[in-house]
Amino acid sequence: MKILIVLTSHDELGETGRKTGFWLEELAAPYYRFKESGAQIVLASPEGGQPPLDPKSNEPQSRTDLTRRFEADPEATGALAHTVRLDTVPAGDFDAVFYPGGHGPLWDLAEDPVSARLIETTLRSGRPVALVCHAPGVLRHVVNEDGTPLVAGKRVTGFTNSEEEAVQLTDVVPFLVEDELAALGGVYSKAGDWEPYVQRDGLLITGQNPASSAPAADALVALLDEGGA
């Protein structure tokens, strides 16, 4: 079993002068869930190489046993330092694709046609895609074969408007994940702020926030164990 994890290459938090990137917990927890399932993992990003880490995700209150394990793991940190360029990745090589969040994907992956084609190709070939926290925003330009939005009519979740308000970035992000998924026709639902919450609709899995990253990874592994949708 081979799983592709797609990370952001974007490190600027709008016009604030602050840094962003991927959220460490949303990489670390799924990484070890996939490892424990026996999967081979490949990390990719639009620009390749070392993706930017959202510095807030490595502050004491955000660190977990799994983030500490990841940072002390030479194999994991080595793979992170040398992500492959997304445009060189053959979609057919992987059994599933997983997108961690962090605010970075809202700027690059959400507008990246290579990422959109990867998701479209993966799903149309009967293989699952999971996205967590801000990463469901990456679906904004992904379409079905008839050109309609992929999420239209599908049960989805993602970072909520109230969670974005709590981190005081409502007016900084290029769009709000909750609003965007709903505007595209997604059947959006959520749990309370910061509570784990995952939605699965066929081959598409979405998680609401960092606490949802491990449950979303578990849902993806379970789907692969089932052999499909």
Q: Provide the pLDDT for residue 179.
A: 98
CA distance 202 to 127: 10
For residue 207, what are the CA distances in angstroms to 22, 71, 151, 212?
15, 23, 14, 5
CB atoms near residue 147 (< 10 Å): 6
CA distance 146 to 168: 38
In 18-140 the beta strands, taken as DSSP E runs, fall at 40-45, 84-85, 96-99, 129-132
pTM of the predicted model, to two decimals? Answer: 0.97
CB 214 within 8 A of CB 189: no
Would you write out the chain's pLDDT as a tens digit for each of its 229 residues? 999 999 999 999 999 999 999 999 999 999 999 999 999 999 999 999 999 999 999 999 999 999 999 999 999 999 999 999 999 999 889 999 999 999 999 999 999 999 999 999 999 999 999 999 999 999 999 999 999 999 999 999 999 999 999 999 999 999 999 999 999 999 999 999 999 999 999 999 999 999 999 999 999 999 999 875 4
Q: Provide the pLDDT for residue 229.
A: 43
CB atoms near residue 16 (< 10 Å): 10
Q: In whole angstroms, what separates CA 179 from the centre of its chain?
A: 17
Q: Which helix (H) or strand (E) holds 77?
A: helix 74-81
Q: Provide the pLDDT for residue 223.
A: 96
Q: Provide the pLDDT for residue 173.
A: 98
CA distance 24 to 37: 20
CB atoms near residue 47 (< 10 Å): 15
DSSP per-residue letters across 169-220: -TTTSSS-HHHHHHHTT-EE---STT---EEEETTEEEE-SGGGHHHHHHHH
Q: Provide the pLDDT for residue 226.
A: 86
Q: What strands lie across the sheet with 40-45, from one edge to the other?
A: 84-85, 40-45, 2-6, 96-99, 129-132, 204-207, 198-201
CA distance 57 to 186: 28
Q: Provide the pLDDT for residue 95.
A: 97
